[in-house]
Amino acid sequence: MEEIFSLISTYGFPMVLSIYLLVRFEPLIKELKESIDTLIMINDNDQNFKH
């Protein structure tokens, strides 16, 4: 806990918060990207099938 307070006092709250959020949301962003890629592939296959 002391390390967190030291980081906040040294680097500032916005930087520490940004790093924390990046670490927390990175797996979610990767999963979202994979889902979007899958939807794009499905859409491309569907369009090819109609032609």
13-26 pLDDT per residue, tens: 888 888 899 999 99
Q: List phi, psi (to 5°) of 49.
A: -70, -35
CA separation for the pair 40, 32 (Å, rounded): 12
pLDDT at 11: 78
Hey, what are 5's tokens?
């307070």
With a cut of 70, say whether residue 51 has pLDDT above it.
no
Overall domain count for the chain: 1
Contact 8/16 with Cβ under 8 angstroms?
yes
CA separation for the pair 6, 17 (Å, rounded): 14
Domain hosting residue 44, numbered range? 2-50
